[in-house]
Chain A
């Protein structure tokens, strides 16, 4: 039996196991939306295409599955770009479907036409313009395969209206054959053996974990590896929840706003084992003084990540889970040497314990003004271990990374690479759609929140009980902090002078709004929010000029951090 392009598209999504898509209808996707009526797939109508893509992204980050978003041609498609770029920078598996004007009109500057293939080329792992309905099933199969394998990433499929309407016999291919795309999965065994040798010879090893550990679901292997060699573990923002922060070997986050002890450990280490991380400038600080005494082992699925920013002594290309499993196996074979290693590195762990004692992460909640860090610690205290936390971008994001001790993978969803304000609320929406029973909390600032606040409507409409904690300082706090420290306190355009009544805003959408203005009220507000069904905004009036510390000034070395302002 013949099927139309739009039917084939939905059939492919169904066969790929997609149960929820996020999107926004329009002229060139109207056929898809018409056929959605007859499909088992749930569609969530966001209020902006950017939010639809972030929601699909949040869904993907929380579940590990491929997130799917749909948008119409022209402005619908261009609105997706920030969402796609966010997913691309953090390697999130997604398939984005955009409508396109009918093929005879492409290139004619038709109504709502945009060259979305050209526009998204640098921010997608791959993209396709479907010109013939006969290619559609193959392209969809490839799109999902490319999105989820190797180093994951977003794939865009641009589907002209006439292709959606054309019919053909539908056969979904069983396999994918791409002669130019063969991601390697298991690391080269000899390289792994060399890595083991380097580890066994080390005195001051540090494991540095990035987002790859989450993407490859390698948390158990990572834990086994770290415990086997008793090496301290520091994570990036993206690697945060893949290693339990309360573990004695945990050093927390490294880099610009990392802990004193993580940055000291990296600076003093003689062997840095990078696990699914890419040596971002926010992590390394000044490259020439980054880990100056260390040999570097770099394990990553993506060869382009290796030797891109720093010298690497031993590259291992492969899926982290596989490589770490093999590594642990090889370590077991060298049982005696591992024992020696653990003994030899005991003084190293003592030295680190000293740093932890000397400069722990701290703040003081004194007086009648709420400290933002206090709110984050309270949220941690009152939520379940499997609560999913999302953030926007800025000071609140860094405080969450510093003061929330995550213990389970895929519980911390944040825009690490692109640093997209407005990500957290729609991402929380997507995560809640995937896990209706779990606590999902968006920790936000007053600036970021207003970049996608229209999604309150989506939350209320679909009864998605996301709790939003707005740390309101009436500032674009992170930029203000930089202005304070590096621009002589000239607060150019960072004061959000119009105070917004977030409680009333919540109520306008049919959500619940709560407010705390003193430290004593904080716990009550959080408790009440968690007990209230449906979406809730918690507005916390926090100290206006609190700074995120420690801080490595841009361009300085990790050992040149400023501990307090």
Chain B
């Protein structure tokens, strides 16, 4: 089962390799990872999707907390949260499929961000399940290239964490 964890870390060089090294050194799995500075530029926020049983997940949380550069670990397992991923898909758009590609994109409220006589590049934002569904529909048209940002998440509700307590 996949778990999503947000990690707030000092925005310093080498922090990413500390986190990545922790996962690889202990044989933990990273399904996706996204990272960028927060409102407070001295803090970066990582969103990590990982998998493992309860014991492994507990170790991941504890090991992340143990890093000196880690300020806060938020495990979204069993919590209510908003999850979004951004994807760019370059899909074949030949004579006979051009209209179909646009129709599918429209259904998913995806945007066309680049057009050539032989292709469309489509941008979509959403929960990973929605994106998976779109990709399945576009696959028969011929996907030339695809990039996923990995999901980012925020907990639901009014409580927020801005970067310093």
A positions within 8 Å CB-CB of B: 117-118, 121-122, 125-126, 129, 146, 178-181, 302-304, 306-308
Contacts and interface: CB of A to CB of B under 8 A. Distances in A.
Contact of B69 (A118, A122, A180, A307): A180
B155 to A, nearest CB: 20
A303 B106 CA distance: 50
A180 B17 contact: no
A307 B68 contact: no
Contact of A303 (B13, B25, B62, B69): B62
Nearest to B10: A180
Nearest to A183: B66
B46 interface: no
B71 A304 contact: no
Nearest to B15: A180
A180 B14 contact: no
A304 B66 CA distance: 8
B70 interface: yes
Contacts of B17: 118, 121
Contact of A121 (B13, B21, B59, B63): B21
A180 B9 contact: yes
A122 B58 contact: no
23 contacts: A121-B18, A122-B21, A122-B25, A125-B68, A126-B68, A129-B13, A129-B14, A146-B68, A178-B68, A179-B10, A180-B67, A180-B68, A180-B70, A180-B71, A302-B66, A303-B65, A303-B66, A304-B62, A304-B63, A304-B66, A307-B55, A307-B58, A308-B59
Contacts of A122: 21, 25
A129 B71 CA distance: 20
Interface in B57-116: 58-59, 62-63, 65-71
Contacts of A304: 59, 62-63, 66
A118 B18 CA distance: 9
A257 B164 CA distance: 50
Contact of B68 (A117, A118, A181): A181
A307 B55 CA distance: 7
A110 to B, nearest CB: 19
A302 B59 CA distance: 12
Interface in B3-34: 9-10, 13-14, 17-18, 21, 25
B68 to A, nearest CB: 4
Contact of A117 (B9, B14, B25, B66): B14
A282 to B, nearest CB: 19
Find the residue from A126, A304, A307, A308 having the highest chain B CB count within 10 A.
A304
B11 to A, nearest CB: 12
Contacts of B71: 179-180
Contacts of A307: 55, 58-59
A146 B14 CA distance: 18
Find the residue from A122, A125, A146, A179 having the highest chain B CB count within 10 A.
A179
Contacts of B21: 121-122
Nearest to A151: B66
Contacts of B9: 180
The 10 closest A-B pairs by CB, nearest first: A304-B62, A126-B68, A180-B71, A181-B68, A303-B62, A180-B70, A122-B25, A179-B71, A121-B21, A304-B66
A121 B164 CA distance: 26
B37 to A, nearest CB: 16
Nearest to B22: A122
Nearest to B8: A180
Nearest to B13: A129
Nearest to A142: B68
Contacts of B62: 303-304, 306
Find the residue from B9, B25, B66, B69 having the highest chain A CB count within 10 A.
B66
Contacts of B164: 179
Nearest to B71: A180
B42 to A, nearest CB: 10
Nearest to A306: B62
A242 B66 CA distance: 27
Given A181-B68, A306-B62, 18 more contacts: A121-B17, A121-B18, A129-B13, A146-B68, A179-B10, A179-B164, A180-B9, A180-B67, A180-B70, A303-B62, A303-B66, A304-B59, A304-B63, A304-B66, A307-B55, A307-B58, A307-B59, A308-B59
Nearest to B72: A180
Contacts of A306: 62
Contacts of A179: 10, 71, 164
Contacts of B63: 304
A155 to B, nearest CB: 9
B102 to A, nearest CB: 47
A303 B58 CA distance: 10
B126 to A, nearest CB: 33
A128 to B, nearest CB: 9
Nearest to A123: B25
B160 to A, nearest CB: 17
A429 B144 CA distance: 65
Contacts of A146: 68
Nearest to A302: B66
Contacts of A181: 68
A122 to B, nearest CB: 5
B21 to A, nearest CB: 5
A181 B72 CA distance: 10
A129 B13 CA distance: 10
Contacts of A129: 13-14
Nearest to B58: A307
B71 to A, nearest CB: 5
Contacts of B65: 303
A147 to B, nearest CB: 11
Contacts of A178: 68
Interface in B132-165: 164
Nearest to A125: B68
